[in-house]
Amino acid sequence: MEYEQIRYELENSATLKLMRSRNIALIGSFLHRQFKIAQRVSIPQLALEEKLADYLDYLQAAYPELPLQSPKAYLNDWLNADLLRKTFEKTAETDEPVFSLTPEAEKALAWLEDLQQRDEFIGTESRFLQILALLKEIKEGSTVDVETRIAQLEQDRDRIQQEIDTIKAAGEVDPFNETQLRERFISANNLTRQLMSDFRAVEQKFRDLTRKVQDDRLEADSRRGSVVGKVLDADDALKESDQGRSFYTFFNFLMSESKQRELKEAIGAIYQLDELRSLTKNYGFLRRIIRNLLNSADHIVQSNQRLTEKLRQMLDERNMRENRRVAELITDVQRLSRRVADVAIDDPSFWLLEGAPKINLMMERPLHPFEDSEAPTFSAVDFTDLPDDELIAELDELAQQFYVDETLLAQRIDRALEVRAQIALSELIDCYPVTKGLPEVVAYLSLATKAERHSVESSTIEWVKIQGLAPDSWLQLKLPKVVFYR
């Protein structure tokens, strides 16, 4: 912490500006009640204005000398102060703008919450054990020697076996006392609160990247390729950063049904403990952790999807401008050609073509480039000399075409996702075997790319075995990993 850095933060930090504000009691109490106590990630604008109007009426009645503004004026001030973020999240019900907390507001509310809990006892034992456990985890996780790691696991095994033998010999379990349970319960709630605040910082990273795309798009000399390259590089850098890796690892962990079930069972058992009855009313944050984490993670995923949408919109706009420019050039060429249409051309070399004409028909182009082998040639099918029975068989084969119903495939995906949060294409094919060969698999890939909630992971390769169209034939397909999400 240098002098210049601290001075800059004091002058520019939205969190510190809030702390120096005369209305910090109003701002902090209202935002904490609406977002933290109510356990909401975002609130529609009209609902937030109504809540703020009711809260201002309460303050006016309790403190008549307090000068107050209108709800809209307060919300605009908080937006300008980077305490709230206003976004438009169009849903099936409404496209009303919604408000959410910024990372700066999260920091301020977290500090105020810590200030309110200054009389709470400090659980030194649980915190020391957390430090010890983290150090042990770092030590074991950094081990690369096989024999050393095996020795560590054997020590853990011997310790667990010794505890089992002690319990069997004594016939009873030595549980935590009430103080130990309370301090661990409070620590878990505080960590949950900090985790929710961290989500705002990750979401802000994606929003900053989206803003960078918009800025690059407005540059006069920017090209599509360069802008797309910058976006992909920045997105890869974000995903490969410590923060990005940690979030996506956590997100995959959170989407696991078994982990969600394990977490729900643990939370349900904890809130039923008699020793924690006096705390559960004031510490309800942990009870709704799964729903809150899923909502917060969904906001981050939506931020990433907005980046993709901005990129697609930018490419569409550039393509439209280029097409318009091409049309203008064609019009100019036509206009110039009319002017010189009646002028005789005396220069004989004007119409001179050097070399033989090269014809490259569209249907002769291969679907994929061939480097080591020649492109395939197309041979004509002659039906004139075929016997009648062979001719009928050939024509029947041409007439026996089939149609892959994507609506039916989408219904299969929805039915599979009714009982689980996600399913891979390989698992879906096991549940609903492929009956129409490779075109049916291609249709699944098309559905995965059309819906933004599904993913196609090109970096992960899966082998899928399906039945071909010919009787008793099987195809072994090498595909990118496709995951369908609810």
- What is the per-residue pLDDT across 376-392, written as a single tens digit (0 to 9) for each? 454 454 545 556 555 56
Q: At which residue do the structure tokens 């049904």 appear?
A: 257
Q: Please name every residue paired with 482 in a beta bridge, in sequence order, or none if there are none.
A: 456
Question: According to the model, what pLDDT value does residue 5 have?
Answer: 84
Residue 210's contacts (CB-CB under 8 Å, 6 or more residues apart) are: 303, 306, 307, 310
Amino acid at 143: T
Mean pLDDT of 444-465: 82
Containing domain of residue 48, as a range? 3-116
Q: What is the pLDDT of residue 378?
A: 45
Task: Identify whether residues 325 and 421 lie together within a single domain.
Answer: no
Higher pLDDT, 321 or 24: 24
Residue 486 to residue 480: CA distance in whole angstroms: 20
Q: Burial letters for 398-415: b for 16+ Cβ neighbours within 10 Å, e otherwise?
A: eeeeeebeeeebbebbee
Q: What is the pTM of this model?
A: 0.45
Instruction: Name residue, tokens 């103080």.
Output: 179
- Where among 290, 307, 335 does a domain terminate? 335
Domain assignment present for 449: yes
Q: How far apart are CA 463 and CA 376, in angstroms?
A: 27
Looking at this protein, which amino acid is placed at residue 434?
V
Q: Which two tokens stand for residue 322?
A: 């280029």
Which residue in this structure is represented by tokens 């050609």? 337
Best-predicted range by mean pLDDT among 43-47, 183-187, 206-210?
43-47
- When divided into structural domains, the chain yields a total of 3
N-terminal to C-terminal alpha carbon distance within the chain: 46
- Count H helices and E strands in the chain, helices first: 18, 6
The domain boundary, picked from 274, 302, 335, lies at 335
- Burial label for 258, CB within 10 Å (0-12, 13-18, 19+), is exposed
pLDDT at 92: 45
- Determine the 3-state secondary structure of 432 from DSSP: coil
Q: Which of the pair, 253 or 223, is modelled with greater confidence? A: 253
Residue 156 lies in a domain: no
Tell whether 198 and 107 lie within a shared domain.
no
Backbone torsion region of residue 345, taken as left when φ is above 0, otherwise alpha when ψ lies between -120 and 50, otherwise beta: beta
Number of Cβ atoms within 10 Å of the Cβ of 134? 10
Q: Which pLDDT value is given to residue 15?
A: 84
In the predicted model, is pLDDT for residue 57 greater than 80?
yes
Nearest Cα residue to 445 out of 402, 484, 391: 484
368, part of any domain = no
Tell me, yes or no, whether 86 and 190 share the same domain: no
328 and 428 belong to one structural domain = no
Among 305, 335, 365, which residue terminates a domain?
335
Q: Are residues 242 and 313 in the same domain?
A: yes
For CA atoms 336, 337, 339, 344, the dihedral sign is positive
Measured at the alpha carbon of residue 281, what is the angle toward residues 276 and 283, in degrees to the nearest 5?
A: 80
Summarised one tens digit per residue, pLDDT across range 298-349 is 766 666 666 666 666 666 776 787 888 888 889 888 888 877 777 666 666 6
How many CB atoms within 10 Å of residue 28? 21
The per-residue pLDDT for range 124-162, each reduced to its tens digit, is 676 777 777 777 788 888 888 888 889 888 988 998 899
Q: What is the pLDDT of residues 72-113, one digit of tens each?
A: 999 999 988 888 988 776 554 556 788 888 888 888 888 887
Q: Please state, as a whole number, how many other Cβ atoms lie within 10 Å of the Cβ of residue 250.
A: 16
Report d(CA 53, CA 57) in Å as an integer: 6
100 & 199 share domain: no
In b/e form, how buried is each residue of 44-60, taking b as 16+ CB within 10 angstroms? eeeebbebbeebbeebe
CATH number at residue 278: 1.20.58
What is the reported pLDDT for 360? 76
Kindly state whether residue 135 falls inside one of the protein's structural domains: no
Does one domain contain both 416 and 306?
A: no
Q: Does the residue 341 lie in any domain?
A: no
Shared domain check, 105 and 22 = yes
Write down the mean pLDDT value for the chain: 76
pLDDT at position 389: 57
pLDDT for the residue 52: 92
Residues 182 and 331 in one domain: yes
Q: Considering only CA atoms, which of 5, 11, 28, 22 is closest in space to residue 83?
A: 28
CATH of the domain at 93: 1.10.10.10
Highest mean pLDDT among 148-157, 242-251, 469-478: 148-157
Give dist(CA 305, CA 309) in Å, integer.
Answer: 6
C-alpha 327, offset from chain centre:
39
On whether residue 471 sits in a domain, the answer given is yes
**Dihedral through CA 345, CA 348, CA 350, CA 356, nearest 10?**
140
Give percent above pLDDT 90 in the chain: 2
**Distance between CA atoms of 67 and 62, rounded to whole angstroms?**
12
The answer to the question of residue 171 being in a domain is no
Higher pLDDT, residue 195 or 21: 21
Distance of CA 369 to the CA centre of its chain: 34
- Structure-token pair, residue 404: 């892959």
Whether residues 410 and 317 fall in one domain: no
Whether residue 410 is predicted with pLDDT greater than 80 in this model: the reply is yes
Burial class (CB in 10 A: 0-12, 13-18, 19+), 77: middle
Q: What is the pLDDT of residues 360-381, one digit of tens each?
A: 777 777 665 544 445 445 445 4
**pLDDT number for residue 286:** 72
Among 428, 435, 427, CA closest to 403: 435
Q: Do 108 and 189 lie in a common domain?
A: no
Contact 97/86 with Cβ under 8 angstroms? yes
Q: Are residues 323 and 182 in the same domain?
A: yes
